[in-house]
Amino acid sequence: MTDAKTQIDETVKSNDVVLYMKGTKEMPQCGFSSRVAGVLNYMGVQFSDINVLSDENIRQGIKDYSDWPTIPQLYVKGEFIGGCDIVTEMTISGELDTLFDDKGVAYNKEAADKIREANS
């Protein structure tokens, strides 16, 4: 597990936005991963996608790393943000915009507003 932890730590710290997910951003393989990747893609966020289905050590390792039992898991500038429910709530409340602004992550504000409009 040490190798997985080291690999995860390096990935999280060397990329501005990382999504550990089932599948890829182009082809998610679960509804929760699809929702988070869809939000990030729609908002034009550049992010690294890590398919946990391709490596069992990473799949378990990310749960141990974050002490969070589910996937997907979103990291921004090395900080664990949360899973699908948390990212969804943050998107609708505008907290995700604030986080991206504070961390200097580029995104499409109009797209974020459209998501909120569609969910109000």
Residues belonging to the binding site for [2Fe-2S] cluster are 30
The pair of structure tokens assigned to 58 is 């990473």
Residue found under tokens 């080291």? 6
Q: Which residues of 64-96 are buried (b: 16+ CB within 10 A; e: fewer)?
A: ebbeeeebbbbbbbeebbbbbebbbebbbeeeb
Q: What are phi and psi of 9, to 5 degrees?
A: -60, -45
- Determine the length of the chain: 120
Q: Which residues are annotated as a binding site?
A: 30
